[in-house]
């Protein structure tokens, strides 16, 4: 009996090793042969038994190892079944799936992330020219912009700011220098948007949009040489203000279903008969639309007279339309939650435009969806994630300062544990968000168009920004809810849902895109299987499907075994990078464990639910959450290495990683609790969590260390908020706050002297007389200390005050001021 147990354990260990290392079929066959021979010799099987086992082994080995035989007996039958159950994809779905590239997300989906590969990715850096632009024009335009003036008085940027933005090339950052643009890297583009976002949402959006998905991006990739040479220099110099019109009342997140249409026809243009289109559209939510001079327009193009070819329904098409074209209705505005960046509807009915207004010329008629999907990832990787990071940095700095300046119960509110908890979250989330911003922008600079990663960045950066602004508002209390020129939180609180909603509503991004697209694009074998089933025929399809399918089986078994082994060994066998920081090695191991668990769970979910998984959005959303957490951890760990392993930042790393791993674990638990096949769910739970769920949320002690970074001036605080605009002098409200923060800390020893004097009875508080005056009268503090204390008190009172207005909120005065600006003669009079 003992011998049987030993042999059984040895056999199990051998099989686990083969699966763990994803051994090829031949290795499995040879190992199985050795094991069978060992069993036969050890237990003296009879000749008949040996013959039966040997015969079965030879037949099975031949089927598995002789490729043509395996295809005929196994794979071709699976392929036939796969073709029957796999739903057909529309052309727009295919183009969306094929759009962009896969990058580190493929490593995570493999279940075996190569940490050496991650850390070997070059750290993205700004050029000297890019840094000079940030230090020069960016700082200048921020100093020129008064956000209260923008959001309450003008409902727009000032004419001076608009002109400066155009003159300095802000609208042409992505346009190459040969066309007159700045030709900036994605990292520089991101850094500019970040700094502007810390000053004014309207300013950052006005610069962000022309450099995201729109006319310039589409022209660079698909425009004719004539179109590029005409439009790009004008866009770079701000002579044209672009917008791109995609969203319609009937087609929001489902943008591919746009009802706007054009019909190919001949018509009169500038006195000549011209081949063109009559286009009818009704668009809304178009940023920069009300002030645009150049309208990028998406519509479905039809050719009933076959003037362009043999097809009638050509598909979605993108064109460039001058907004002064007869029939274009544009100029009215939306007001999205008091965010005053220019945004509004536009429309047209039977507007005639020449065929060569199609971006790329008539050859690109009907290719608009492919063009849009091909360009979406780069812009989505930068725009909203970066503006969210800018908001996070700004709020981290001002909220920490306010929590140190503002006192209640004779204590700075930042030292109250409830406030401290929120501050710690703000600091840690800010660190993680910046890490994701830099890593994702770096991917774009490496030539990637990371479709899935851009969705992860957009969703999670905007969601974390929402949490940060909520925490900041809670800390500021009444100061935060009273709008005015001295409120640095309120407008951010108002505008945060806009980022949540645009460029793919977050609910749909999470439930449909992150895992839905990732499961096909990032998985090492699924797309190959689908293409073999739907796009290939005959022997080529058979060979491709067989290779992908058999590899897929090995991949699934390997990840299942690895998840189990990591679970029972507390991840001690997980991969760590060579030369990685000792203080973070265990986090790489834990992340490797969850990557294997995720990959295994994803494969079993697709097998168990098939095409129904697409409709089970709660489960696919949670699978997307796990993939996202793995990416957030990866970016955080790489950021720590790239920044030189600053030990002061270790508390931030610990909070971020523990939080992400815990959230990933909880998402897996929710999937298993709601898995439709209960017996399979039980098996999955035993495999993934053999010793129970071991990941825990961040410790209170780590939270306190993170909060302290925002409550103290120094390198950690400056590093965490690097790249933001800090108000200059004691005129700007944030400049006053910064001065009050430093003065409060400098005067804490003086305040302590005064408190002790009161406690000992050396000073008797008197109504209407401040402690500082009593302190100097009683020689508790020196004249120099009194001067410092009095300045601190003046700054403190300035910081904690809130704004108030006359009954009309100053509208009469505002209108008079704007009228004088509009009519200089009236001003002179």
By annotation, the residues acting in catalysis are 503
Contacts of 105 (CB under 8 A, 6+ apart): 450, 452, 453, 456, 518, 521, 522, 627, 631
Element (H, E) at 746: helix 733-746
Contacts of 657 (CB under 8 A, 6+ apart): 584, 587, 590, 591, 633, 636, 637
Q: Are 436 and 87 in contact (CB under 8 A)?
A: no
Task: Give the C-alpha separation, 303 to 320, whole Å.
Answer: 19
Task: Give the C-alpha separation, 197 to 173, whole Å.
Answer: 16
| Residue 316 φ then ψ, to 5° | -65, 135
Tokens found for residue 634: 């990866």
Question: Of 379, 620, 393, 618, which Cα lies nearest the Cα of 502?
Answer: 379
Task: Give the C-alpha separation, 235 to 232, whole Å.
Answer: 5
Residue identified by tokens 């959006």 is 205
Diameter of the chain by CA atoms? 118
What is the Cβ-side half-sphere exposure of residue 343, based on CA atoms within 13 angstroms? 19
Task: Give the C-alpha separation, 726 to 737, whole Å.
Answer: 10
Could you tell me whether strands 329-330 and 411-412 are parallel, antiparallel, or unpaired per DSSP bridges? unpaired
Q: Whats the size of the chain, residue-wise? A: 829
Give the rounded distance of the alpha carbon of 151 from its chain centre: 26
Contacts of 102 (CB under 8 A, 6+ apart): 450, 451, 452, 521, 522
Question: What is the 3-state secondary structure of 86-146?
Answer: CCCCCHHHHHHHHCCECCHHHHHHHCCCCHHHHHHCCCCCCCHHHHHHHHHHHHHHHHHCC
Q: Are 170 and 207 in contact (CB under 8 A)?
A: yes
Q: Are 320 and 359 in contact (CB under 8 A)?
A: yes
Ordered DSSP codes for 469-502: HHHHHHHHTHHHHS-STT-SSHHHHHHHHHHHHS
DSSP state of 769: B
Tokens found for residue 264: 């190919």
Ordered DSSP codes for 582-622: GGGHHHHHHHHHHHHHHHHHHHHHHHHHGGGGGT-HHHHHH
Cα dihedral 11→12→16→22 (10° resolution):
40
Could you tell me whether strands 329-330 and 313-322 are parallel, antiparallel, or unpaired per DSSP bridges? unpaired
Question: Of 678, 725, 265, 294, which Cα lies nearest the Cα of 488?
Answer: 725
């Amino acid at each position: 009996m003992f011998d049987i147990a030993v042999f059984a354990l040895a056999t199990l260990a051998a099989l686990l090793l083969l699966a763990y290392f994803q051994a090829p079929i031949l290795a499995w066959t040879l190992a199985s042969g050795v094991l069978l021979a060992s069993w036969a010799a050890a237990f003296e099987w009879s000749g008949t038994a040996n013959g039966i086992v040997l015969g079965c082994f030879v037949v099975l080995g031949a089927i598995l190892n002789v490729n043509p035989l395996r295809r005929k007996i196994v794979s071709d039958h699976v392929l036939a079944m796969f073709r029957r159950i796999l739903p057909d994809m529309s052309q727009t779905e295919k183009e969306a799936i094929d759009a962009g590239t896969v990058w580190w997300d493929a490593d995570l989906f493999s279940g075996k992330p190569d940490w050496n590969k991650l850390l070997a990715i070059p750290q993205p850096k700004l050029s000297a020219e890019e840094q000079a632009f940030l230090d020069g024009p960016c700082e200048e335009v921020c100093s020129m912009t008064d956000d209260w003036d923008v959001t309450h008085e003008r409902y727009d940027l000032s004419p001076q700011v608009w002109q400066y933005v155009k003159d300095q090339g802000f609208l042409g950052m992505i346009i190459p220098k040969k066309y007159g643009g700045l030709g900036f890297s994605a990292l520089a583009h991101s850094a500019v948007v970040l700094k502007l976002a810390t000053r004014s949402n309207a300013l950052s959006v006005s610069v962000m949009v022309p450099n995201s998905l729109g006319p310039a991006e589409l022209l660079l990739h698909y425009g004719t040489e004539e179109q590029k040479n005409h439009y790009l220099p004008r866009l770079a110099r701000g002579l044209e203000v672009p917008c791109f019109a995609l969203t319609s009342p009937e087609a929001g997140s489902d943008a591919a279903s746009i009802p706007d249409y054009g019909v190919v026809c001949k018509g009169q243009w500038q006195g000549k008969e011209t081949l063109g289109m009559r286009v009818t559209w009704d668009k809304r939510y178009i940023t920069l639309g009300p002030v645009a001079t150049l309208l990028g327009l998406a519509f479905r193009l039809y050719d009933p007279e076959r003037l362009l070819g043999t097809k009638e329904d050509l598909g979605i098409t993108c064109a460039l339309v001058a907004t002064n074209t007869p029939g274009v209705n544009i100029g009215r505005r939306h007001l999205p939650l008091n965010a005053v960046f220019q945004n509004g509807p536009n429309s047209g009915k039977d507007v005639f435009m020449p065929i060569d207004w199609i971006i790329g010329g008539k050859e690109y008629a009907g290719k608009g969806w492919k063009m849009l999907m091909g360009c979406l990832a780069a812009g989505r990787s930068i725009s909203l994630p970066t503006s969210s990071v800018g908001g996070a940095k700004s709020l981290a700095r001002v909220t920490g300062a306010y929590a140190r300046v503002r006192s209640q119960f004779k204590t700075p509110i930042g030292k109250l544990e409830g406030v401290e908890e929120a501050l710690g979250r703000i600091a840690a989330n800010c660190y993680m968000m910046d890490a994701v911003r830099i890593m994702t922008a770096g991917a774009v600079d490496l030539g990637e168009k990371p479709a899935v990663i851009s969705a992860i960045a957009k969703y999670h950066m905007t969601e974390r920004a929402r949490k940060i602004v909520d925490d900041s508002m809670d800390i500021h209390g009444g100061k935060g809810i009273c709008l005015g020129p001295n409120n640095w939180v309120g407008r951010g609180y108002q505008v945060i849902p806009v980022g949540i909603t645009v460029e793919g509503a977050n609910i749909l991004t999470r439930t449909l895109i992150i895992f839905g697209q990732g499961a096909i694009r990032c998985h090492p074998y699924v797309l190959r299987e689908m293409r073999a089933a739907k796009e290939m025929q005959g022997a080529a399809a058979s060979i491709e499907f067989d290779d992908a399918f058999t590899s897929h089986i090995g991949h699934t078994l390997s990840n299942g075994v690895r998840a189990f082994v990591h679970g029972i060994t507390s991840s001690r066998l997980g991969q760590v990078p060579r030369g990685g920081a000792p203080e973070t090695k265990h986090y790489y191991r834990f992340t490797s464990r969850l990557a294997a668990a995720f990959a295994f769970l994803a494969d079993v979910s697709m097998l168990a639910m098939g095409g129904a998984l697409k409709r089970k959005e709660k489960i696919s959303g949670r699978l997307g959450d796990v993939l996202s957490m793995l990416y957030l951890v990866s970016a955080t760990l790489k950021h720590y290495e790239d920044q030189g392993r600053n030990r002061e930042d270790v508390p931030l790393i610990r909070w971020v990683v523990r939080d992400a791993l815990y959230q990933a674990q909880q998402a897996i638990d929710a999937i298993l609790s709601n898995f439709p096949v209960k017996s399979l769910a039980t098996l999955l739970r035993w495999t993934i969590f053999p010793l129970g769920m071991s990941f825990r949320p961040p410790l209170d002690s780590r939270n306190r260390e993170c909060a302290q970074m925002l409550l103290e001036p120094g390198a950690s605080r400056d590093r965490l908020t690097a790249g933001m605009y800090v108000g200059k002098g004691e005129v700007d409200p944030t400049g006053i706050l910064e001065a009050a923060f430093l003065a409060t800390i400098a005067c804490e020893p003086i305040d302590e002297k005064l408190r002790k004097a009161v406690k000992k009875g050396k000073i008797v508080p008197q109504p209407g007389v401040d402690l500082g005056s009593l302190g100097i009268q009683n020689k508790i503090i020196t004249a120099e200390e009194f001067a410092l204390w009095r300045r601190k008190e003046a700054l403190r009172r300035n910081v904690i005050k809130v704004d108030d207005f006359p009954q009309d909120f100053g509208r009469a005065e505002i209108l008079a001021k704007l009228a004088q600006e509009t009519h200089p003669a009236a001003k002179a009079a």
